[in-house]
Amino acid sequence: MSLVPTGDEPRFAEMRQVVELYVQNKQPGVIAKELGLRRVDVLNHIDEWKRTAVGSEAMKDRVAAPQVEILPELYGANPAHILESIRTATIPADPRRLLLVGHNPGMHEVALMLMGRGDPAGAKALGHNLPTAGLAIFDFDVKDWGDVAYRRGKLVLFVSPKLLRQG
């Protein structure tokens, strides 16, 4: 498995560029012109990013007063970038729990790479796919997020819409 997403990498790089300009309050037409893209493609990238951000916002009301930080640079990021975000989660707070919401292929790849042991049935299902609305919960026996590494996570639970339908 590659640390850099293959195939769709140009698409994700384009999305990151669009989102970075959008969060600077640039209008979609201006973004399209600056990046040499069609306006409809810029709007699609923004819409997909907003759906992810709204999902993150919805989670804020379901857990006890979390600190939420939206990182546009993680949109479509590769596993190495995602791991670095996990490792630096101690800045500025020192969370005991961390929730990442993101997109594939990066999220699926990093989940597979973090898994060292844990639930065998969950690991098998996760090996096939980390679908939209999928949830992989890992436990790391570390004192600091900076010590999180590939193959050191224990898969505690993997849930997907398909597994929930199967009962």
Model confidence pLDDT, tens digit, residues 88-139 = 876 666 667 888 888 888 999 999 999 999 989 999 999 999 988 899 999 9
More confident residue, 20 or 59: 20
The structural architecture, per CATH, of the domain 9-166 is: 3-Layer(aba) Sandwich (3.40)
Q: 22-80, pLDDT tens digit by residue? A: 888 889 899 999 999 999 999 888 888 777 766 655 555 555 556 777 888 888 889 99
The Cα–Cα gap between 37 and 49 comes to 17
Task: Say if CB 15 and CB 76 are below 8 A apart.
Answer: yes
- DSSP type of residue 74: G
